[in-house]
Structure 1
Amino acid sequence: MNLASVGTRRVASIRLFSPLILITVLVTGCTKSPAPTPAATPPAAPTSVTPACPEAGVMIESGPVEAAMGLRVTRLEMINCGNDPYQVTGYPAVRVLDAEHKPMAIDVLDGFSAITSSITGFDGAPKPVELPPGQAAAAVVVWRNTVTDASVTATTATYLEIAPADGQSPQVVAVDGGLDLGTTGRLGVSPWTLPKGPSSPR
Structure 2
Amino acid sequence: MADFQLVNCGTQLYVLEGYPRLSLRDDRDGPLEVSVEHGSAGITTGTPNLDAAPQRVALAPGQAAVFGIVWRNLVTDGTVVATTAQVLEVEPRPGAPRLSLRLASPVDLGNTGKLGLGPWQPLTR
Q: Same fold (TM over 0.5)?
A: yes
How many pairs does the alignment contain? 124
C-alpha distance in 1 between matches for 2:104 and 2:114? 18
Q: Is the partner of 1:144 in helix, strand or coil?
A: coil
2:51 corresponds, among 98, 123, 129, to 123
Note if 1:162 corresponds to 2:103. Answer: no
Aligned to 1:93: 21
8 Å CA contact 2:38–2:116 kept in 1: the answer is: yes
Q: Which runs of 5+ in 2 are unaligned?
A: none
8 Å CA contact 1:143–1:186 kept in 2: the answer is: yes
C-alpha distance in 2 between matches for 1:134 and 1:163? 19
- Divergent runs of 4+, >6 A: none
8 Å CA contact 1:142–1:188 kept in 2: the answer is: yes
2:2 corresponds, among 74, 99, 109, to 74
Compare 164-173 and 74-83 and name the one that shifted more.
164-173
8 Å CA contact 1:122–1:193 kept in 2: the answer is: no
Aligned to 2:12: 84
Percent identity among equivalent residues?
Answer: 39
Determine which structure has greater relative contact order: mean sequence separation of CA pairs < 8 Å that are 6+ residues apart, divided by chain length.
Answer: 2
Distance change >3 Å, CA 195–CA 122, structure 1 → 2: farther
8 Å CA contact 1:125–1:191 kept in 2: the answer is: yes
C-alpha distance in 2 between matches for 1:151 and 1:121? 34
CA deviation string 1:135-172 (max 9, x = no partner): 11000011110011123332111001101123322110
Return the offset for 1:192: 0.1
TM-score if structure 2 supplies the norm length? 0.91
Note if 1:141 corresponds to 2:69. Answer: yes
1:171 corresponds, among 79, 99, 108, to 99
Give 1 or 2: higher helix fraction: 1
C-alpha distance in 2 between matches for 1:122 and 1:135? 20
8 Å CA contact 2:50–2:116 kept in 1: the answer is: no
Q: Which amino acid aligns with 2:84?
A: T
Q: Is the partner of 1:172 in helix, strand or coil?
A: strand
Return the offset for 1:89: 0.6
Give 1 or 2: higher strand fraction: 2
TM-score if structure 1 supplies the norm length? 0.58
The CA RMSD over aligned residues, in Å, is 1.4
Aligned to 1:188: 116
